[in-house]
Structure 1
Amino acid sequence: MPESIEHLRDEPFAPEVLRSDLAYQGAVWNVRDDLVRYGEGEIRRQYVEHTGAVAILALDDEDRVLLIQQYRHPIRHRDWELPAGLLDIAGEEPLEAAKRELAEEADLVADRWEPLVSSWTTPGGNDEVIHLFLATGISSAPAAHEREDEEADIRVEWVPLGEAVDAVLDGRMRNGILTIGVLATAQRLRDRS
């Protein structure tokens, strides 16, 4: 990698937090209200305090990606997504959570797992980091998982990776995590060939 690019990385920065209040305590995540010393002044920022999450790009032997579609109330859409879930079990590592989520959301297991990329989903509004994994060697899970609420009518589709890339670039699929996972996988496979 050329030296000129190696300096491009996120940098930790921790200004003094003068006050941090719990503005709202939710069932899944909370809202914090922080007062921070920044430069010569102070700034106030409210953000969602998030547990973090995992997502899985499951790729079969025909280079098809597993997509799920489910209702998402904030956007009033049934959007296409990757199987994903919260890091909400104490002490559970992201890889183990990814394995659990693939089984729970798609009734699948994978023989091979590799980290794909990690991303802050909306760093101006929450502290969520999502860890994406590439899963291959896909097969059916030993048992089907019972689903409820929005997950009860999940639609599952295996889509050629190239078609998923086209749908993302054409703006037909706009889920951020799906976009990152599909484009990162396409690049990873291109790099391997």
Structure 2
Amino acid sequence: MTEKETLVYRGKIVDLFLEQVLLPNGAKAELEIVRHPGGAAAVAIDAENRVCLLRQYRHAAGGWLWELPAGKLDPGEPPLATAQRELQEEAGLRAARWEPLGKIISSPGVFTEVVHLFLARGLSHVAANAEAHEVFEVHWVAFAEALAQARTGVIVDAKTLAGLFRAERLNWGE
């Protein structure tokens, strides 16, 4: 239970709070909590069992990462709408069929961010509209190869790992 919270920083995407909390065991702790609106990601698999991956530059991660098309929830926007919007903006794709793959919490000790994962099938091409601050390349990778890259550590992004393995569990792409 939060007894006291102090705003330390308000940003464009995240806010940082110091929270004094009472833990379930009765202990008190002061925690640094980064509040994030959450996000959504799409595991887009085409008719040839290829998955759409972005090779994206991430300064905070020190370089290039392989990721699913994904983005931040806009205020009041349902997670599925976010996944649909991001798939179109980043990959220039629209999907006829969507299936939820659950959610992940990337770093529950510090961040409130919840990422909702979706499987997208029945793909068609539309105009992309990437944001200026994003630097990425769109790649189509055989689903089995993407899974191998996830297992061997080539793919390290948490939402991408979870999305690929959950899609595999549903026997999609195999």
Q: After superposition, what is the alpha-carbon deviation per residue over 1:93-135, rounded to whole angstroms, capped at 9, x for unaligned?
A: 1111111111111111000011012111110110110000000
Aligned CA RMSD, in angstroms, stands at 1.6
Gaps of 5+ in 1: 1-15
Q: Against the structure 1 CA distance between its residues 160 and 122, is the aligned structure 2 distance closer, same or farther, given a 3 Å change threshold?
A: same
Aligned to 1:6: none
Matched residue of 1:135: which SS?
Answer: strand
For 1:66-77, list aligned pairs within 5 A: 66-77=52-63
Give the counterpart of 1:50 among 30, 36, 41: 36
Aligned to 2:80: 95
Aligned to 1:134: 119
Bigger proportion of residues as helix: 1
Gaps of 5+ in 2: none
Q: Given the two structures, how large is their TM-score scaled by the length of structure 2?
A: 0.94
Bigger proportion of residues as strand: 2
Q: After TM superposition, give the deviation of residue 185 of structure 1 in Å.
A: 0.8
- In the alignment, structure 1 residue 21 sits paired with structure 2 residue 6: yes
Q: After TM superposition, give the deviation of residue 146 of structure 1 in Å.
A: 4.6
Alignment partners' CA distance in 1, 2:131 and 2:2: 41
Give the counterpart of 2:143 among 161, 178, 185: 161
Q: Given the two structures, how large is their TM-score scaled by the length of structure 1?
A: 0.85
Q: How many residue pairs align between the two structures? A: 173
Runs of 4+ off more than 2 Å: 38-41
- In the alignment, structure 1 residue 115 sits paired with structure 2 residue 100: yes
Alignment partners' CA distance in 1, 2:79 and 2:46: 21
Identity %: 38
- In the alignment, structure 1 residue 63 sits paired with structure 2 residue 73: no
Amino acid at match of 2:33: Y
Q: After TM superposition, give the deviation of residue 144 of structure 1 in Å.
A: 3.1
